[in-house]
């Protein structure tokens, strides 16, 4: 039965009690016992269901709740041993740090005090507990009233576990959601060192040799540990995007998406949606971002949903702060060439925008990259996750290219117009006399660089055209393709060649590119779509000069 989608709620109880759309992830509870550790850190991209799963854990374990009806009929209910021995049997502290994104250290600490105070307020009955002495009650009230210093605040969660454990005579479960948000925000706003020192004490005090702790679960996007953030923990179990543990507990599997599409009557859109939103590879499983799928089910329109849910500053920064090698590798990603990387054990701050494994690891954990099919070993090829992510990268690349080339914007506009009108002389003049020789152009050192360079300029076209990179057609993929909305207008296919040797003739190499266009039948998809006017261009580049060969189909 089709259920209403409730956008914005990350409360398990709210979704179940309201009978809203929910994909059952309660077997995450069983997995926690199967892979039990004293402290478990699970890293996943944004909007991958972390907060909802933490809410579900709280509903299941919290001693203050009676959640049997909530879980009735869900997957975990078949495991009666877990239900009888663990459901609603533990004091639980649940805290999310996702909103600790402030511009200064002092304002961030004040926000932390507010969050801790709210946790204490939920447990205010402890202030009257006969099992706490007067000193403990006084300290409890001080945290509740936000009177602690930053140094005292570091021990606030440990002290709360002590109070709960003494009152209930049970060890405590701690659920800490989005633990890395304050650290990431601090790095972006310039107070990283202060925040990392605070968080080391805040986390270390409660997760290191804490006799009051039953177990703890932390979630976040990145594993941050350069300064020993986790070295003081008792051997935490870490489950990242490449690990098999909890692989399908976060995100939607292909079968789950198919089942949801059947319920919502959109099974005919499955292939289209899969092409746009599928592609996350978690622990060897192909997964979908839940946010993008639920938004599609609600609106039934293909849009860029996920990347609009949070900060994408890292994408903006790579084009402005990255070195030439990094930008060239990013150009390769956008134009279909994977990068080769090795997974860094941890993310180190401050971020260096160079072509390093640390940077690629950051993008992998953040949900922008995935291992290529069949990638194995310590070094592996990685590519952009899906069309949704590629669309975002492309948009920021186009903005950067236009900003960098503002002095030749008129030449870029003329160049694109020449392509659409088959003006060979104008194309060569715009490239050789103005665009390629503009001082702001980044180093053009590989074919990827030229490919992205031209692709970025083509993205300046209006909404009457769609621009494709590495579009499948005929017997292969053309480098770039321009498809007008009006089938009577001219379509364009481009093939690029990069020539390093001075001895080779550029015109002859461009002609080889044209032979490739014809032999591989790159225009066949355009012809099948009903285009009758097609311009074919092969461009051979050497440094900051080029030769162009053109043919016209009509």
Helix (H) or strand (E) holding 15: helix 12-17
pLDDT at 477 over 90: no
Chain segment 329-360, per-residue pLDDT in tens: 777 787 777 888 888 766 667 777 776 777 88
What is the 3-state secondary structure of 384-439? ECCHHHHHHHHHHHHHHHHHHCHHHHHHHHHHHHHHHHCCHHHHHHHHHHHHCCCC
Mean pLDDT of 25-36: 95
191-205, 304-318, 454-468, 535-549: least confidently modelled range:
304-318
Angle, CA of 161, 222 and 374, to the nearest 5°: 130
What is the pLDDT, as a whole number, of residue 439? 47
What is the pLDDT, as a whole number, of residue 461? 74
Chain segment 181-202, per-residue pLDDT in tens: 999 899 889 999 999 999 999 9
User: Rounded to 5 degrees, what are φ and ψ at 505?
Assistant: -85, 120
Chain segment 225-283, per-residue pLDDT in tens: 655 566 656 668 889 888 999 999 999 999 999 999 999 999 999 999 998 999 899 98
Give the CA distances from residue 21 to residues 1, 273, 453, 475, in Å, rounded to whole numbers and listed in that order. Answer: 10, 19, 44, 43
The pair of three-digit structure tokens given for residue 278, joined into one six-digit string: 């599928």
Please name every residue paired with 285 in a beta bridge, in sequence order, or none if there are none: 282
Confidence of residue 554 (pLDDT cuts 50, 70, 90): confident
pLDDT at 442 over 80: no
What is the pLDDT, as a whole number, of residue 372? 87
Confidence of residue 447 (pLDDT cuts 50, 70, 90): confident
Confidence of residue 97 (pLDDT cuts 50, 70, 90): very high
Report the predicted TM-score, pTM, of the whole model to 2 decimal places.
0.81
């Amino acid at each position: 039965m089709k259920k209403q989608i409730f956008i914005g709620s990350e409360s398990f109880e709210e979704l179940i009690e309201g009978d809203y759309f929910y994909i059952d992830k309660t077997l995450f509870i069983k997995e926690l016992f199967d892979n039990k550790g004293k402290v478990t850190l699970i890293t996943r991209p944004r909007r991958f269901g972390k907060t909802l799963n933490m809410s579900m854990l709280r509903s299941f374990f919290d001693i203050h709740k009676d959640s049997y009806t909530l879980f009735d009929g869900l997957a975990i209910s078949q495991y009666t041993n877990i239900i009888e021995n663990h459901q609603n049997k533990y004091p639980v502290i649940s805290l999310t740090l996702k909103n600790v994104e402030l511009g200064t250290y002092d304002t961030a600490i004040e926000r932390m005090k507010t969050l801790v105070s709210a946790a204490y307020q939920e447990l205010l009955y402890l202030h009257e507990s006969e099992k706490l002495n007067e000193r403990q009650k006084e300290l409890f009230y001080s945290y509740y009233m936000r009177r602690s210093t930053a140094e005292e605040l570091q021990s606030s969660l440990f002290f709360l576990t002590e109070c709960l454990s003494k009152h209930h005579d049970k060890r405590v479960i701690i659920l800490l959601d989005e633990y890395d948000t304050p650290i990431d925000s601090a790095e972006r706003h310039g107070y990283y060192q202060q925040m990392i020192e605070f968080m080391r004490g805040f986390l270390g005090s409660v997760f290191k040799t804490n006799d009051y702790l039953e177990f703890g679960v932390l979630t976040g996007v990145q594993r941050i540990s350069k300064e020993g953030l986790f070295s003081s923990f008792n051997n935490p179990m870490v489950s990242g995007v490449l690990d098999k543990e909890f692989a399908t507990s976060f995100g939607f599997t292909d079968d789950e998406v198919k089942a949801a599409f059947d319920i919502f009557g959109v099974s005919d859109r499955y292939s289209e949606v899969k092409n746009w939103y599928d592609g996350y590879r978690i622990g060897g499983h192909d997964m979908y971002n839940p946010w993008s799928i639920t938004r599609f089910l609600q609106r039934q329109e293909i849009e860029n949903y996920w990347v609009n849910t949070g900060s994408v500053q890292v994408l903006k920064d790579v084009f402005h702060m990255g070195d030439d090698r990094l930008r060239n590798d990013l150009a390769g990603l956008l134009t279909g060439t994977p990068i080769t990387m090795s997974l860094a054990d941890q993310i180190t701050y401050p971020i260096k925008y160079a072509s390093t494994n640390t940077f690629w690891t950051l993008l992998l954990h953040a949900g922008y990259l995935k291992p290529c099919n069949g990638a194995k070993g310590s070094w592996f090829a990685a590519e952009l996750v899906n069309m949704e992510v590629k669309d975002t990268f492309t948009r920021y690349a186009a903005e950067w290219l236009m900003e960098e080339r503002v002095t030749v914007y008129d030449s870029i506009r003329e160049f694109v117009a020449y392509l659409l009108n088959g003006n060979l002389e104008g194309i060569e003049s715009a490239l050789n006399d103005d665009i390629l020789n503009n001082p702001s152009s980044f180093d053009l050192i590989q074919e990827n660089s030229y490919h992205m360079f031209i692709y970025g300029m083509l993205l300046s076209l209006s909404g009457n055209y769609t621009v494709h990179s590495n579009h499948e057609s005929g017997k292969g993929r053309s480098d770039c393709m321009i498809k007008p909305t009006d089938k009577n207008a001219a379509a364009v296919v481009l093939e690029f060649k990069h020539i390093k040797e001075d001895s080779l003739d550029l015109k002859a190499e461009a002609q080889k590119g044209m032979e490739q266009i014809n032999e591989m039948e790159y225009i066949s998809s355009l012809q099948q779509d009903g285009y009758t006017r097609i311009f074919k261009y092969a461009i051979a580049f050497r440094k900051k000069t080029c030769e162009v060969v053109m043919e016209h189909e009509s």
